[in-house]
Amino acid sequence: MEAGYREELLAALRLQLEWGVDEALEDAPVDRFAARAPVPEAPPPTLAAPALAAPAARPAARAVLPLVPPPAAAAAALAAAAQDLAALKSAIAEADSPLRDTATNLVFSDGVAESGLMMVGEAPGADEDRLGRPFVGVSGQLLDRMLASIGLDRTKNFYLTNILPWRPPGNRTPTDAEITLFLPFLMRHIELVRPRHLVLLGGVSAKALLRSKDGITRLRGRWHQVETPSGPLPALATLHPAYLLRTPSAKREAWSDLLLLRRTLDGDAAPR
């Protein structure tokens, strides 16, 4: 062994001793650099073909439920099928309304259907509910006296009904839903009776039939037109007798409306 190479090995051994190497792992030295195998290059990644999604499961067939018409549509169908007043009354009795469960009697009409003059109020009160006839309580008695003052009598020359055929609990004002439900019956009622003139008693009746948002104080005192399947019909809006009982000072306006009605019926004033 050459002296120079031997000195290099001894220097390397002393360096290892200085670093703390105090034992040999193997009997013979191993050239770690020569023994290290080259690391093969990784092959380029291959793109796998996308997996085809399994076809979606077909949803189970659902049972087709029959379409149920809303209450107003069902009411309109019942009303349209009525060919006379008796059939219309029966149809109203069939209409699904919570009012039917709280009222005593269906209040359909009173007076002479052939008179040519039809009056439409709001809804039955306690006396009407008990007797099954419209305008038989205190306000109805006032109405009879008012109309008698211009020569009208319910047993001879006018006819009475209401928008609602059932009494609302506690005599409350009819709701929009209740009016919508029973309006087709009222329109069919008017069509079957075929009056020449209508009198709309109170704000509920006037606003519903005239399709107006104005109150009765704006609508009263003049003739309007109510659109019916048979064509426009003259309609006079006036104050409800129940309002006159609460507000006696309004009787002057009501009297003016009655005079206008009388003149129209006599042909002195054409409805406009």
Give pLDDT tens digits for 127-140.
999 999 999 999 99
- Mean pLDDT, rounded, of the chain: 86
State residue 7's pLDDT score: 72
Pairing assessment for the beta strands 117-121 and 159-162 based on DSSP bridges: parallel
Strand partners of residue 120: 161, 200
CATH class for the region spanning 71-265? alpha beta
pLDDT in tens, 254-263: 999 999 999 9
Q: What is the pTM of this model?
A: 0.74
Residue 156 has pLDDT above 60, yes or no: yes
Residues 108-136: b if buried by 16+ CB within 10 A, e if exposed: bbbbbbebebbbbbbbbbebbbeebbbbb
Average pLDDT over residues 78-96: 96
Rg (CA), the chain: 47
State residue 167's pLDDT score: 97
State residue 66's pLDDT score: 47
Residue 50 has pLDDT above 60, yes or no: no
SS3 state at 231 = strand
Average pLDDT over residues 234-255: 97
State residue 172's pLDDT score: 95
Average pLDDT over residues 39-46: 58
Distance between CA 270 and CA 42 in Å, rounded?
A: 105
Residue 69 has pLDDT above 70, yes or no: no
Question: Which band of pLDDT confidence, cut at 50, 70 and 90, is reported for residue 42?
Answer: low
Residue 171 has pLDDT above 80, yes or no: yes
Residue 64 has pLDDT above 90, yes or no: no
Edge-to-edge strands, sheet with 231-238: 110-111, 159-162, 117-121, 197-201, 231-238, 223-228
